Every structure is written in structure tokens, then in C-alpha cells.
Amino acid sequence: MIQNIVQKEISEDINLLKEDSLTKVNEFRAEDLVFCLALDKSKFVAYGYGNKDFENKILFYINTIAVHPEYRNQNLGTRIKIRIIPEALKKEEFQYIKAITQDSNLITKYINCKLGFKKASES
């Protein structure tokens, strides 16, 4: 499972993402959830999701993008993010997209910059 591999690489705890939490309405499902899955034949190799920010309702928060190590450097993470953003912006209430990245994640910081994201202090 991608999450078990990716969890070893990040400093924060992550909750395992299960199909039910994405596809079925339940009390714990995030508001305005948008997700994208990447498959290689029948194997999940990458995923990303975002949702309405819990505190600031005009913000859409790209929560997680994860790519299996064997499938990295193929632009999957970037392509997933590019698919999620327009879906989020279809909702008129969202005025901003937020993506939090660890300081040590230079690749994601580069991708965010390439996609036009700015540090909150720069906006």
C-alpha cells in the first residue's frame, strides 16, 4: 500500500486512507473532497486529494499527494495536482488553493513554484 511506504518518508502522522473514507458519505468525510488516483493496470501507484479548509472556508487545501517510489520522476504527482486544482476551482466559494509542504521536500516546493504557488508570506 502506497501510504505505508510514504508514511516512512514524512515527519507527521498520517491516517491510512481507505476507499470508504473517499467514496462513501460518512461523518468523517471532509467537505468538498476532491481526489485523483493513478493506476498502472490494476495497481494503485499514486493518489492525491484535497478538501475545504476546516477553518477558512474560502480555501481549498491540497492535503496529500503520494507516489509509490517505483513510479516517481514520471510527473505523476504534478499531473495529479493539475487535475485536482481545476476541480476545486469549479466551486465558486474557493478563492485560494493551499498546499503545505515540508521544508525538506524540495521537489514538491519546486513543483508548487512551477504551478504558481507562493509562500503565504509572499501573497
- pLDDT tens by residue, 55-114: 888 999 998 898 999 999 999 999 999 999 999 888 888 999 999 888 888 988 999 999
Q: How high is the pLDDT of residue 84?
A: 94
What average pLDDT score do residues 4-30 get?
Answer: 55
6 or 4: which leads in pLDDT: 4
Determine the Cα–Cα distance for residues 36 and 109; give it in Å rounded to an integer. Answer: 20
Alpha carbon distances (Å) from 70 to 3, 61, 66, 99, 106: 14, 27, 12, 24, 19
Residue 32 near residue 19 (C-beta atoms within 8 A): no
pLDDT value at residue 23: 58
For the chain, the structural domain boundaries read 2-122
Domain 2-122, classified CATH 3.40.630.30, yes or no: yes
**Contact assessment for residue 47 and residue 37, using Cβ atoms and an 8 Å cutoff:** yes
Supply the pLDDT for residue 14: 47
Local structure of 35: helix, strand or coil: strand
Q: Does 54 have pLDDT greater than 60?
A: yes
pLDDT at 62: 92
C-alpha–C-alpha distance, residues 16 and 3, integer Å: 6
